[in-house]
Chains A and B, each alone.
Chain A
Amino acid sequence: MEQLLRSEEIPEIKTGFDGVRFFPVRHHSPVCSFHLKKAIEDYAPDGILIEGPKNAEHLIPTLIHADTRPPLALYYAYKDQNGRIDDRKGEYKCYYPFLDCSPELTALREADKRGIMARFIDLPYMEILAGTAKNRGIRREEEKQTYNDDYLLSRSRYLQLLCERTGLRDFEEFWEKYFEIQGLEEETPAFVRQMLCYCSLSRQHTPREEMGADGCLLRERYMAWQIAEASQEYKRLLVVTGGFHTPGLMELLEQAPGGGVRFLGEPVRLRGTDDPLQTVYPMAYSMEAADALNGYASGMQSPGFYDRVFQRLETGESGAVAYRETVLHFLAAAGRRARKEGESLSVYDETCAFSMAEGLARLRGKKAPGLYELRDSVLSSFVKGEYSLSTEGPVRILARLTTGEQAGTLCADAARPPLLDDFERQCALLGLKIHSTAEQECTLEIFSRKKHLQISRFFSRTEFLDCGFAKRKKGSDLVRRRDRNRIREIWTYRWSAQVTAALVDASVSGGTVEEAARARLWARMAACKGCGEAAGLLVNSFLMGLADEQARLGEKFARILAEDGDFFSLSRGFSHLAMLGELQDLYQARDMLNLDALLGDCFQKILQLLPFMGQVGEEEQQACMECLRSLYQATGKASCSPYRPLFREAAERMLERKPMNPGVEGAALGILYGCDGSFGERIETAAKGYMQGTDQMRQKSASFLRGLFFTAHDFVFVSRNFLELIDGLLGNLSTEEFLKLLPEFRLAFSYFTPMETDRIAGRAAAFHGKKGRDILKGSAAGPKEYAYGSALDRYIRERMEGRQP
């Protein structure tokens, strides 16, 4: 590695100035923590400066509190109400996770132990956002955003070359071999020099424009300025920052004559540090969440593994022993877990895997086996047979274990977002038990008791905020339009650390549950693409009891409606609206949406599109049938009855346009039959067309029946000839054709109740001179046949579940 690094042009390596020392780190890296501790011991600084947004400084006591247990994270949020970041005025949030092995946490803890100053020196979160180009650095449009920027260390061209030359798979393996494992054998000054050397080279190979767009240069200017300021006050400073920034910081500083350093760059002008819309809170985190962030190249992968290594290093073990013991620990744990999950693994397998890991480490010239050897050994010794979905169990188990399963806890007096306080206040007010983690159940009579309605609304709000607290078990589901006749709701709820985390996460949206729900509602409304989704949100707002929003929501909805030209979305929207109309009466709510007007507009648009819907493809057939049915149902209700004749006309126009999708045709005919019984004849004619037509038409008859039964299955019992017609069709089909159509036939007849099916069977049997009961009698299958059938069944099931390749 030394040789490799030397093979490039190396800048002069400087580790600091008189009175200011630098310690470059990689986030969550045990070896950095290990050496940082030593460096603090050797250097005995009187102050430590740490890379971290300044607006979280007041939370340092929480992070190092004796009752606080990592993994935890700082949660930064900013609501760009005033458009300081850009015109979109969005909400921003990011996490800054800390594990036991994070060097930043080590620095904070050591400073506390020695009673010396420790500060964060990076720009406040909002300023970083403002200084970063859109969709770059911390503003990348990911679902989860992290403050750490290790990706800077791992993306340079130089690194690719290094990996290629050293025959290693990727940056992570390179890092583990040369830094994590080998670094433990080095003296601290040598380690720091090597880190700096690597970081300088990867910085050299990163274009300056990229660093500018990512906000690095601005942050470095601020950090350097902070360092210079602090150096006036403290005589022996230690600066702990991400390795990529260290060389940049040193370039911006020079030795001051009387000790300390002087800032060379241009000072950063802040836009508004005390912005109240910028918040930061500590939150309990999980290893899994920390590992998920690894996808954004932040911190080490498999934090559970490296955390374990760090624990062993803390007990005073040497690096090689710590790694070896950790690998052994995970092999044994994976073996144990695999056995528990039904894999057949023996202790001998574990022995073989361990010797494989050791052998690989020797072959690869590593001082001890690491994560890669651990993975390789499990792959080689635990997986029996071809590596596939069905055999990869042990590898999956290992991945879970090395990620780590523990979750952190915060000390009791940790700062909490107001949202969390409000949540607890509301729970106390409504008498909900949140001091137990056991699942609670409550039955709410929402129409007769006011408090129950309040609880239901509160639950709906938490559900809308996605915090995993309450779940409706029974009761009418208005959004999905199921079980709407129920008058009671049964909810289950459970308090857990994840709920807290989710609430902290949601706190960017507001200070109370209601406020956050409102903000989310508007955000989702703004992002919403169609009328169906928007009407769903209206229903949500109704359930959450945000009636006062409805007037404004109604206006917004009208705009979305005007732009929507999708039949499916419109008809979903129409049904939601129709239902809202009924509910307003039931809940005795005042209509502030101007529902009638919205319904009218929506219906007009549907009528324009409906005649063209007969030509939809097979994949949209079911959706189209459902839309037709729900429009029929909606127009059947008193509030919408004036639309019924118009709907009927449009459906008739639809039937005039040929060729039609058979399922939709069946459904439309069924609906017209529902409107007017004289359509029975037309149904029979159409059905004959399919069933007695050419081969091609016959193929479509099952689909036609499916559509018809979907909307008017009672027609079978009303019409005398219809069953005979179907019987004739079935008689004419060849076995091959029948088998092809069978799935669709099954679907078609699934719309009947068991009693109805019996009746149909009875009548069908009569055509052939038998009774319905006779159909049930058949010759019993022989044991051989039965065994064959059940084996076949099992085989198919296994194939479908992917248990067999």
Chain B
Amino acid sequence: MDNKLELKPPVEVRYKEELEALSALDTGRRPLNWKLSPRAVRTFILGSREPLEWNGRKVEIRKKYLGNDALVERCIITLAGSRGLMLVGEPGTAKTMLSELLSAAISGTSLNTIQGTAGTTEDMIKYSWNYALLLAKGPVREALVPSPLYTGMEKGILTRFEEITRTPAEIQDSLISVLSDKVLNVPELGDGGILFAKPGFNVIGTANTRDKGVNEMSSALKRRFNFETVRPVRDVSMEKQIILNEVAELSRENDIEMEPDEDVAQILASTFHELREGVSSMGHRIDRPSAVMSTAEAVSVYYQTMLTAYYYGDSRMDMGCLVQNLVGAVQKENGDDLEKLRGYFQTVVRDRGGKEGGLWNSYYEARKYLR
């Protein structure tokens, strides 16, 4: 598959070499139908200190999920057990990325996915029919259109259920019996219509806590999942690293030959971090905006600014443009948020500019775009 043809190649394609190397060198015990042992899955997601020697090459396994290592370990063990895994958290906390990484490492594909929306119906979750074939041949397996859940059970791979809480609670509940009995009954197919899940099957759900949290999920369904709450990154330097990594990845995929600027990433990471936490590194108390100040949002602000600089500018990051994009990110839900951002500039950024000068100063000067 040519990566360049896709806007965003799936994880298993992006990290094909790493996965192959890990699989070849993996000596650990693998749960049935898993492509890698739990320890190798951990290495794939959290990286290895030394590069792997494989096929005469050195393959470096980069740390892909920055944050809570113990959480990743719990996720892996949950997936090897009999319960589903539910990742919950604020938007932009890399829940989806984590679920893709887990699926790619464990089942070799991250594409077996149900996208939850308010319009998701039970047949999208279980199975539906190809009506032409159904009319022609009657209810036979050939006429059945399997859902990602069906496929997961049939092949013994993971099924991802994105934004599970956006689907109505009664539809969500169709998962209950599948998750506990690991059996899906297709009555139309008669005696042969019982599908037993193969080992290796499990479900990873993601749900964000902003719009429609997990509170409305039935407790019967909750009991069939282990919950992991993914928190925003708490460490500024780690947030900066995430911005830099993600932007480098994006620019490589889109053939943008421009090196990310570490100082700008640092400023952006501080801004997002401080606005999220409500307190600056110098001790100012700040009004927190109601918009989601996620790391993903910071990446997008940075990348947009970078694109502007690359296509319209002199390939140098422009603070004015950065601030304009920042306004776009902050002013989404509430008019007051811009006021809060202005307050942030007039206290924290001003003082930082006074203390550190340089880029912080030009950042402060760009406050004229806050409107």
Contacts and interface: CB of A to CB of B under 8 A. Distances in A.
A383 B39 CA distance: 25
Contacts of B74: 356, 360, 376, 379-380
A805 to B, nearest CB: 7
B81 A355 contact: yes
Given A346-B223, A363-B42, A352 B73 contact: no
Interface stretch (B214-222, B262-270, B344-352): B214-222
A209 B57 CA distance: 49
Contacts of A362: 38
Given A380-B74, A380-B227, A356 B88 contact: no
A233 B317 CA distance: 78
A804 B213 CA distance: 11
A352 B215 contact: no
Interface string A376-399: 100111011111100000000000
Given A344-B219, A385-B214, A805-B213, A359 B77 contact: yes
B73 A364 contact: yes
Given A352-B82, A356-B78, A376 B226 contact: no
Contact of A386 (B70, B80, B81, B229): B229
Contacts of B80: 359
Interface string B46-76: 1001000000000000000000011001101
A167 interface: yes
A384 B46 CA distance: 26
Contacts of A380: 74, 77-78, 226-228
A381 B219 CA distance: 14
A376 B49 CA distance: 24
Given A381-B226, A385-B88, A356 B77 contact: yes
B339 to A, nearest CB: 21
A386 B223 CA distance: 13
B77 A363 contact: yes
Given A379-B74, A380-B227, A356 B215 contact: no
Interface string A762-805: 00000000000000000000000000000000000000000011
Given A384-B223, A386-B88, A376 B73 contact: yes
Contact of A360 (B73, B209, B215): B73
Interface residues of B, number: 30
Contacts of A376: 70, 73-74
B227 A387 contact: yes
Interface in B208-258: 209, 213-215, 217, 219, 222-223, 226-229
A356 B77 CA distance: 6
Nearest to B222: A384
A339 interface: no
A139 B139 CA distance: 82
Nearest to A357: B77
B139 to A, nearest CB: 36
Contacts of B39: 363, 365
Contacts of B76: 363
Contacts of A329: none
A657 interface: no
A360 B77 contact: yes
B88 A352 contact: no
Q: Which of A344, A349, A384, A386 counts the most B-chain CB atoms under 10 A from its CB?
A: A386
Contacts of B223: 346, 349, 384
Interface string A324-361: 00000000000000000000101001001001100110
A383 B70 contact: no
A89 interface: no
A394 to B, nearest CB: 12
Nearest to B209: A386
A205 interface: no
A113 interface: no
A552 interface: no
A376 B78 CA distance: 11
A759 interface: no
A360 B38 CA distance: 10
Contacts of A38: none
Contacts of B38: 359, 362-363
Interface string A88-116: 00000000000000000000000000000
Given A385-B214, A386-B88, A805-B213, A356 B81 contact: yes
Interface in B30-50: 38-39, 42, 46, 49
A271 interface: no
B288 interface: no
B83 interface: yes
B227 A383 contact: yes
Contacts of B69: 167, 169
Nearest to B38: A363
Contacts of A365: 39
Contacts of A364: 73
A165 interface: yes
Q: Which of A165, A346, A387, A388 counts the most B-chain CB atoms under 10 A from its CB?
A: A387
Contacts of A346: 223
Contacts of B227: 380, 383-387
B233 to A, nearest CB: 16
Nearest to B76: A363
Contact of B81 (A167, A352, A383, A387): A352
B229 A384 contact: no
B46 A167 contact: yes
B202 to A, nearest CB: 13
Contacts of A384: 219, 222-223, 227
A554 B223 CA distance: 68
Contacts of B83: 352, 381
A559 B77 CA distance: 68
Interface string B153-173: 000000000000000000000
Interface in B107-134: none
Nearest to A165: B49
B54 to A, nearest CB: 22
Contacts of A388: 229
A169 B89 CA distance: 22
Contacts of B209: 386, 805
A362 B29 CA distance: 10
Contacts of B214: 385-386
Nearest to B29: A362
A726 B229 CA distance: 54
A384 B224 CA distance: 10
B103 to A, nearest CB: 18
Contacts of A352: 81-83, 226
Nearest to A385: B214
Contacts of B70: 169, 372, 376
A382 to B, nearest CB: 9
B120 to A, nearest CB: 21
B121 to A, nearest CB: 25
Contacts of A359: 38, 77, 80-81
B180 to A, nearest CB: 10
Nearest to A355: B81
B77 A385 contact: no
Contact of B215 (A372, A383, A385): A385
Interface in A8-66: none
Nearest to B226: A380
A556 to B, nearest CB: 38
A381 B78 CA distance: 9
Nearest to B70: A376
Contacts of B217: 385
Given A356-B77, A805-B209, 7 more contacts: A359-B77, A362-B38, A363-B73, A385-B88, A385-B215, A386-B89, A386-B209
25 contacts: A167-B46, A344-B219, A349-B223, A352-B82, A352-B83, A356-B81, A359-B38, A359-B77, A359-B80, A360-B77, A363-B73, A363-B76, A364-B73, A372-B70, A376-B73, A379-B74, A380-B78, A380-B226, A381-B83, A384-B222, A385-B214, A385-B217, A386-B209, A386-B213, A386-B227
The 6 closest A-B pairs by CB, nearest first: A359-B77, A387-B229, A384-B222, A380-B226, A380-B74, A386-B88
